[in-house]
Structure 1
Amino acid sequence: MVTLLLDQTQLEVVLSPLERVSTFRRENIRIARDTIAKVQLTDDAWTWLRGVPNPGTHIPGILAAGSWKAAGSLDFVLIRRHRPSVVIDLEGDDEFRRLILTTKHGLALTQALRLDVSDEPADVEEIVATSPIPVSKGSRRPVIRPRPA
Structure 2
Amino acid sequence: MVTLLLDQTQLEIVLSPIERASTFHRHNVRIAREHITRVQLTDDAWTWLRGVPGPGTHIPGILAAGTWKGAGTTDFVLIRRRRPSVVIDLDGDEQYQRLILTTRHGLALTQALRLEVTDEPADVADIASTAPVPLPKQRQRPVIRPRPA
TM-score by length of 1: 0.91
Distance verdict in 2 for CA 1:128–1:52, change over 3 Å: same
Partner Cα separation in structure 2 for residue 15 and residue 142 of structure 1: 44
Map of 1:4 onto structure 2: 4
In the TM superposition, what are the counterparts of 1:129-148 in structure 2 within 5 Å? 129-133=129-133, 135=134, 140=137, 142=139
Match of 2:30 in 1: 30
| Alpha-carbon distance, 1:130 to partner | 1.4
1:4-42 deviations in Å (ceiling 9; x for gaps):
000000000000000000000000000000000000000
Alpha-carbon distance change, 115 to 53 in structure 1, aligned in 2, over 3 angstroms: same
Q: Distance in 1 between matches of 2:77 and 2:140?
A: 40
Secondary structure of the 1:128 match is: helix
Q: Deviations over 1:79-122 (max 9, x none)?
A: 00000000000000010000000000000000000000000000
Count of matched residue pairs? 143
Aligned equivalents of 1:44 and 1:23: distance in 2? Answer: 20
**Residues 143 and 125 of structure 1, relative CA distance in 2, 3 Å threshold:** farther
Unaligned residue ranges in structure 2 (runs of 5+): 142-149
Instruction: Tell me by how many angstroms 1:2 deviates.
Output: 0.1
User: Which residue is 2:53 aligned to?
Assistant: 53
* Distance in 1 between residues matched to 2:60 and 2:72, nearest whole Å: 23
The yes-or-no answer on 1:14 pairing with 2:14 is: yes
CA RMSD between the two structures: 1.9
Q: What is residue 123 of structure 1 aligned with on the other side? A: 123
> What's the TM-score, normalizing by structure 2?
0.91
How far apart, CA to CA, are the structure 1 residues paired with 2:138 and 2:120?
A: 35
Partner Cα separation in structure 1 for residue 41 and residue 117 of structure 2: 21
Q: 2:107 — aligned with what?
A: 107
Change (3 A) 1:47 1:126: same
Amino acid of the structure 2 residue aligned with 1:12? E
- Aligned-residue sequence identity (percent) comes to 73
Structure 1 residue ranges without an equivalent (≥5): 145-149
